Amino acid sequence: MLLTRECDYALRIIRELADLELHTVTAICNVESVPGKFAYKILKKLERASLVKSFRGKTGGYRLIKPPGDITLYEVVLVIDGDIFLNTCLKDGESCSNRTSEKECLFHEEFRRMQEQLIRALSEKTVGEILKIQCKN
């Protein structure tokens, strides 16, 4: 399982916005090396998820709504990439091709356990912790 380039860019954008100041897309792209076409698409997703707010006009830009200490890595992954699945058979409604009425698939259960650990780890780590920002909650 790989996080997408888009998710990597989203984390870079959030890193730039972590000071809770207003930033232009151009400034974000320059500092974080994010291509402009990706930045606008990602910022729209982050705005729909109520993580950032856009301000229009000549002095406009983007600002984080939530403090970095309140944004988990899993939240960003969900917004950008959707749910994490280590294997297709772990998706709701999918079946494991190695599981039959006579036998269980041992890999299936181990992948489920690993997936749950990964989600838990991403849910427990905030952007603020990673950036070592002292967040007031």
CATH number at residue 111: 1.10.10.10
- List pLDDT tens digits, range 57-75: 888 999 999 999 999 999 9
Q: Is residue 137 part of a domain?
A: no
How long, in residues, is the chain? 137
Q: Which residues of the chain have a pLDDT value below 70?
A: 1-2, 93-104, 133-137
Count of domains for the chain? 1
Q: What's the pLDDT score for residue 103? A: 64
**Helices and strands (H, E) in the chain, number of each type:** 6, 2
Q: How far is residue 27's CA from residue 46's CA, in Å, rounded to a whole number?
A: 17
Q: Is residue 37 part of a domain?
A: yes
- Structural domain span for residue 19: 5-131
Taking phi over 0 as left and psi of -120 to 50 as alpha, with beta for the rest, 63 belongs to beta
Q: Is residue 136 part of a domain?
A: no
Bridge partners of 54?
A: 62
Q: Is residue 32 part of a domain?
A: yes
